[in-house]
Amino acid sequence: MPKYLERPAAQAVLKALKRWGGQTMQIMSGPRQVGKSTASHQIAQNWGGPSHFAVADEALPPGPEWIAQQWESARRLKRRGVRPLLVLDEVQKVNRWSEVVKRLWDEEKRAGEPLRVLLLGSSALMVQKGLGESLAGRFLLHRFPHWSFPEMQEAFGYGLEDWLRFGGYPGAAAFRKDPKAWRSYVRDALLEPILARDVLQMSTVAKPALLRHLLLAAAALPAHIVSWEKLQGQLQDAGNTTTLAHYAGLLEGAYVLSALQPWRGERISKRGGSPKFIVWNNAIVSAVAAAREATEPAWRGRLLENAVGGHLLNNLPPDWRLFYWREGDAEVDFVLRTPDALWAIEVKSGHRQALPGLAAFMRRYPQARPVLIGEGGMGAADFFGSDPLRAFEAL
């Protein structure tokens, strides 16, 4: 990976450590292989004091005593007037990690001179479970998403078509001139560790092969609406639709795949609704669907729509919810519910003029705000270069 500017999330973490580090721990959560560890080393270098770094990402996860050992190592670095920084990477791999961290942090607080603590994790479900169980009121959470189009453009010279095809994994960029090597890298060095370490190692999965087949099937159908029943018939040993929906949730917790639910007004959509699959990083789509040509208009349209959904999922706060809408033949690509507004988002990749689905949705929900991404609306490159929160709030 080339030397690259600190990502905005890294800058925010360092600022929070310096301002709030005595009151709260900092938690950085995001996908595997997007530079969290690199960012944590950059943060430590810019900290201005001693630091101790340790990683728990081992084939056999360490026990709770490992955290206590690392904590004590950081304590030994204390000097008068200078607070040490403790960085623990992949902390969710440690059994009962949140209980141990809570005890040690509370001890530090009572002593009056707490360490500055940064914890990193690549499993949203496990990190959030630990935070909810033990660490309420003791942390600030920073999300570290997949690399954006401007970041890949600046670091590797990606154009929009490169971004749509190769996605946002910086480690894979060096292989993109050799399609076979690139696909092998994404599948073997990225996707397999995600499945093995961030999903199967962290959760009870009765049918690992089924989970893997679900991901491969969904990645070959980006931005498609597929009923669970139809998908069940295509998968080996598929079990029931509840199992498939549960496995999709586990993949979402690893920042890989989301099964969007249909928008049904303010009623809560049930998991039983036909999902729309969005893969968080287009690299996974292209690595799985290797035979598809990115220049094929219909396939490029799917890549564009999936990339829009992925960009939204990577950047939206937890209280912003993403859906799709379909009634009969009328369909809207994405429906975004924020605390203050309802957005109807249509992605236009071709030259078609009419948008009957968007018009039907606006008749049904006149309070919604329409957004067109693509020809005739916000340019795709502009959208991928924006923070969706600010872009939508500015409209």
pLDDT grade, residue 82 (50/70/90)? confident
Question: At CA 26, angle to CA 22 and CA 29, rounded to 5?
Answer: 180
Residues 118 and 204: their CA atoms lie apart, in Å, by 28
Cβ(14)–Cβ(26) under 8 Å?
A: no
Domains of the chain plus CATH, in order, are: 8-143 (3.40.50.300), 149-394 (no CATH)
Beta bridge partners of 390: none
Residues 84-130 pLDDT 10s: 999 999 888 888 888 999 999 999 888 887 889 999 987 665 566 66
Amino acid at 28: M
Residues 235-290 pLDDT 10s: 766 667 888 899 999 999 889 999 999 999 876 555 557 999 999 999 999 999 87
3-state class (DSSP) for residue 333: strand
pLDDT grade, residue 3 (50/70/90)? very low
Cβ(326)–Cβ(262) under 8 Å?
A: yes
What pTM did the predictor assign?
Answer: 0.89
Give me the percent of the chain exceeding a pLDDT of 90. 55
Specify the higher pLDDT residue, 233 or 89. 89
* Token representation of residue 247: 């496995």
Q: How many residues does the chain have?
A: 395
Which segments within 231-313 are labelled E, that is strand? Answer: 257-260, 276-279
Question: At CA 147, angle to CA 144 and CA 150, rounded to 5?
Answer: 125
Residues 313-345 pLDDT 10s: 999 888 899 999 999 999 999 999 999 899 999
